[in-house]
């Protein structure tokens, strides 16, 4: 894998290089000291993956990510030492197309292992994607409780901003329950929930194991395991399928809804790289759910929605503004 490093700190660049040298499959193709230089170099020599810092002179990592995804799209992983103090920039970068975020490796720490693990995961993502597996929920009994109308949302690359826009018109007295599956590391889920809550009219909370979706709340999958609905309509986390590249997986959640949610609802698949969610959306459509995929024009990365369109999994293919209007209508 050819990797570019974008960082204005020589010490950080050297630490990243030392980490990458541990894997013979990883090759540093170039280094840029700021975002503007990275945009120019991507246009001339496109790498497989860009390791992008956030805080830099001339052009920061958020704007550089936006420009690269617009002009020379490729996989981008934010590698920064300032995650906790710049969470808004983290989600701005992810909204602009960054796939994930990890701490800058520190000599003697475990950051190197974390960085290599993220790169390996992205390698699977930009290569052939693994298919979703099945889950076990034996021993749980079907629920007899009354359930609210459920809106299920799946997103990946560019998802934070797309989810925020999709929910922007949902009223404060929303009568639907909402569950969101966004490809994001568990480290960032609390920050993402808080960030999303500032942009919507309803509470956005982390989905806790054992609770049930409730009207007027949006729940966010919050671990690196897969969120599922059990036969009694409670939420569970499962590590299976362990070898699936997308964690948490939209497909795994959508398939569990098709199997166990006792009423029809609406499912939305937003921008993202790969195919996660398409097969699950088809399962929900076959069960009578109203299924929607974001259109190409408004998707930052037209991967997951395109896969859904190819499978005829989406009853409607809509621009993001129309998705927001639809969610407002069904949540009143």
Asked if the domains at 2-126 and 150-330 fall in one CATH topology, the answer is yes
Q: Give the integer Cα–Cα distance in Å for 308 and 276.
A: 9
pLDDT of residue 245: 76
Q: Given the residues 156, 245, 249, 331, select the one marked as catalytic.
A: 156
Name the nearest CA neighbour of 163 among 253, 270, 257, 252: 270
Query: Considering the domain 150-330, what is its CATH architecture?
Result: 3-Layer(aba) Sandwich (3.40)
pLDDT at 139: 39
Beta strands 218-220 and 204-206, pairing class: parallel
Interior angle at CA 96, CA 93 and CA 97, nearest 5: 95
What φ, ψ does residue 206 adopt, rounded to 5°? Answer: -75, 140
| Gyration radius of the chain's alpha carbons | 20
Task: Note whether 23 and 123 are within 8 A (CB).
Answer: no
Quote the pLDDT of residue 111.
60
Q: How high is the pLDDT of residue 215?
A: 96
| pLDDT score for 83 | 67
Q: Which CATH class is domain 2-126?
A: alpha beta
CA 22, distance to chain mean position in Å, is 28
- CA-angle at 187, arms to 165 and 277, nearest 5°: 50
**276 tagged catalytic:** yes
Decide: 27 and 3 in contact? Cβ < 8 Å.
yes
Active site (annotated) includes residue 156: yes
Q: What is the pLDDT of residues 241-261, one digit of tens each?
A: 887 878 899 999 999 999 999
d(CA 283, CA 313): 8
Q: Which residues of the chain have pLDDT under 70?
A: 83-84, 107-111, 127-145
Confidence at residue 145, expressed as pLDDT on a 0 to 100 scale: 54
pLDDT at 226: 96
Catalytic residue among 183, 225, 234, 299: 183
Distance of CA 5 to the CA centre of its chain: 23
Domain ranges of the chain: 2-126, 150-330
Please tell me which residue in 276, 283, 295, 331 is annotated as part of the active site: 276
């Amino acid at each position: 894998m050819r990797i570019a490093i974008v960082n204005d700190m020589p010490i950080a660049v050297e630490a990243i290089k030392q980490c990458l040298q541990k894997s013979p499959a990883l090759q540093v193709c170039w280094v840029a000291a700021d975002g503007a230089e990275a945009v120019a170099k991507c246009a001339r020599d496109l790498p497989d993956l860009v390791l992008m810092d956030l805080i830099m002179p001339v052009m920061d990592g958020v704007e550089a990510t936006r420009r690269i995804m617009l002009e020379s799209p490729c996989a981008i992983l934010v590698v920064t030492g300032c995650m906790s103090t710049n969470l808004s920039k983290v989600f701005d970068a992810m909204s602009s197309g960054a796939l994930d975020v990890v701490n800058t490796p520190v000599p003697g720490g475990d950051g190197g292992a974390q960085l290599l693990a993220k790169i390996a995961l992205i390698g699977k993502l930009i290569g052939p994607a693994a298919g979703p597996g099945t889950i076990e929920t034996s021993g749980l009994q079907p629920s007899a409780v009354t359930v609210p109308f459920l809106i299920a949302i799946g997103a990946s690359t560019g998802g934070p901003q797309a989810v925020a826009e999709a929910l922007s018109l949902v009223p404060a007295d929303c009568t639907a329950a909402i569950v969101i599956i966004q490809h994001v590391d568990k480290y960032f889920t609390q920050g993402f929930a808080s960030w999303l809550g500032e942009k919507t009219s309803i509470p956005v909370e982390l989905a806790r194991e054992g609770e049930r979706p409730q009207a007027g709340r949006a729940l966010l999958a919050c671990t690196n395991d897969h969120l599922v609905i059990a036969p009694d309509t409670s939420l569970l986390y499962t590590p299976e399928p362990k070898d699936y590249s997308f964690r948490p997986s939209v497909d795994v959640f959508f398939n569990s809804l098709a199997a166990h949610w006792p009423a029809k609802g609406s499912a939305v698949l937003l921008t993202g790289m790969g195919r996660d969610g398409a097969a699950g959306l088809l399962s929900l459509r076959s069960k009578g759910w109203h299924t929607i995929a974001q259109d190409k024009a408004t998707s930052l990365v037209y991967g997951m929605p395109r896969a859904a369109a190819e499978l005829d999994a989406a009853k409607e293919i809509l621009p993001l503004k129309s998705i927001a209007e639809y969610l407002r209508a069904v949540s009143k």
